[in-house]
Amino acid sequence: MDIFSEWCSENCLDLNASKTKELVIDFHRGQFTFPKLVVNGQAIESVEAYTALQLSRDSIPDCKGQAA
């Protein structure tokens, strides 16, 4: 994340940590704890689901709707 944040700064872009969300899609079996994501000293909120452009996604991977 530091590299991306640095790239944004070099290209006159700002990351708005209050509007940024993290969605982790984990294919591990069992429980795994991911470290907190931090941008410019602010922790990024981790969410379990989101909707963007009317497309819903959640953090539980499955094969529903996949072509066979």
Q: Does residue 23 come out as left (phi exceeding 0), alpha (psi in the -120 to 50 range) or beta?
A: beta
Q: Name the percent of the chain lying above pLDDT 70.
A: 75
- How much is the pTM? 0.55
Position 64 confidence tier, pLDDT thresholds 50, 70, 90:
low
Q: What is the pLDDT of residue 4?
A: 84
Residue-wise pLDDT for 32-63, tens only, equals 788 888 888 888 988 888 776 666 666 665 65
Q: What is the pLDDT of residue 1?
A: 72
Beta pairing, strands 55-58 & 49-52: antiparallel
